[in-house]
Amino acid sequence: PADRMARAIGLVQMARRLGPAIGPVIGGLVAALFGLRQAFLVAAFLYVVAMVVMLSLYREPPRIFPRPSDDVEPKTVRQVIRYKGLALMMGVIFTMQYVERSLGPVLPLFVASLGVSMGQVPLWSGILFSLIAGTGAVGNHLCSRLLERYSPGTVILASIFVATGVAVSVSGATQVLLLVAVLPLFGLAIGTGSTAAYTIAGQMIPSDAQGVGFGVLSSASMVGLALSPVLSGLLGSVSLRSVFLVDALLLVALGVIGSSSFRRIVAMRDLKPAKV
């Protein structure tokens, strides 16, 4: 239902974040206790459990397909992108994904550059990545409650503001403890902003175009996921701090470009399916 979309999207994204956050810990324990081969068997078992859960618990309602008609044509990707406001939400999702994934290639190197001994770099990096993933999941979950109190545009602008402040702070960090203090705010902002963007887009997409619409949104996320490690790695080869400054610039550009559109989104109840 439309009134539960924010909570549903938040729960799904929270589960998506918790998997990568908890999975390495469980896999490492299994590998350490029982060996590497057994870790793969445990992973295979979990896939089987997921399949059984889907087959036994998920009930898909019968779908009624309309008869082909000259008046009703399937929506194309180009038509969906032209829906008012959807391209902006794609930009939000792309930027949030890009900025979050930019930390992967450079964060361990940046931690080492702050004076942490090489033997402690994996530990501190793991702590930081876990904090980002954990607070990101919290942001996914809290987004629905924030959208009940504040307008979606305000939530996204606040997320951009917080994430920008953290990126600038990290670029000037001289101690690893500062990263421990501010990066959880980064994860919280990214998780909240991305869930809000998906929710707004979901309300804008008409029911007959939701399949194509969410596919387009996922494509924006995947493009950010694919480009970020490569481009961040190239930037990091020149200067590690420049990666965080570029992240801040991208977020500022997103906020400036979309500020007027964000402010026009008054409340979730005012959102209606868009028209081309």
The residue-averaged pLDDT of 68-74 equals: 55
Residue 231 — very low, low, confident or very high, per pLDDT cuts 50/70/90? very high
Task: State if pTM tops 0.85.
Answer: no
What's the pLDDT at 2? Answer: 59
CA atoms within a 13 Å half-sphere pointing along the CA-CB vector of 227 = 12
What's the pLDDT at 239? Answer: 92
Candidates 14, 60, 55, 92; CA nearest to 251 is: 92
Confirm if 273 and 204 have CB atoms less than 8 A apart: yes
Backbone angles phi, psi at 237, to 5 degrees: -70, -20
Rg (CA), the chain: 21
What's the pLDDT at 133? Answer: 86
Which two structure tokens, joined as six digits, stand for 263? Answer: 């402010």
What's the pLDDT at 125? Answer: 86
Residue 110 — very low, low, confident or very high, per pLDDT cuts 50/70/90? very high
Q: Is the pLDDT of residue 74 over 70?
A: no
Backbone angles phi, psi at 52, to 5 degrees: -65, -40
CATH of domain 2-65+75-270: 1.20.1250.20
Of the two residues 250 and 147, the one the predictor is more confident about is 250
Tens of pLDDT, residue by residue over 3-45, are 666 677 777 777 777 777 677 667 777 777 888 788 889 889 9
Tens of pLDDT, residue by residue over 174-207, are 999 999 999 999 999 999 999 888 888 877 777 7
- What is the rounded (10 degree) CA torsion for 178, 197, 199, 55? -70
Query: Structural domain boundaries of the chain?
Result: 2-65+75-270
Of the two residues 210 and 197, the one the predictor is more confident about is 197
Amino acid identity, position 246: V
Confirm if 204 and 89 have CB atoms less than 8 A apart: yes
Q: Is the pLDDT of residue 73 over 70?
A: no
Q: Beta-carbon neighbour count of residue 225 at 10 Å?
A: 15
